Amino acid sequence: TEYIKKKKFPEDGSSPYGSRYVGSMVADVHRTLVYGGIFLYPANEKSPKGKLRLLYECNPMAYIMEKAGGKATTGLESVLDVVPENIHQRVPFVLGSVDDVQEYISIVKKHLTK
């Protein structure tokens, strides 16, 4: 929530981010590729391991995003560096521009050290 608040209500005078949710990850990622920004499907209390599946949902989109010059992460490591433990393994998933994703990672790391 800290990241979302920071983007929707920036304190540095920058333009606020809008949010969109098409409901299809492929369409949402396409929009992120075309218009920029960030796609977030992080872990939460209900799904602490995330909801999207590593091998057939996250890895293909992460590969495309990274080839386009962006970044994809679980919040702790690059999605493409995750070694699968099972075929249906779920992971938290964030991808987008390098700057946006790096900002998200720094907030995640800040809260892990508390």
pLDDT digits (tens, 9 = 90+) for 66-86: 999 999 999 999 999 999 999
Q: What is the pLDDT of residue 20?
A: 82
Task: Spell out where 55-101 has E strands.
Answer: 71-73, 90-91, 93-96
Per-residue confidence (pLDDT) for residue 22, from 0 to 100? 83
pLDDT of 10 over the 80 cut: yes
For the chain, helix, strand, coil in percent to 5 are 45, 15, 40
Average pLDDT of the chain, as a whole number: 94
Query: What is the percent of the chain with per-residue pLDDT over 70, rounded to a whole number?
Result: 99
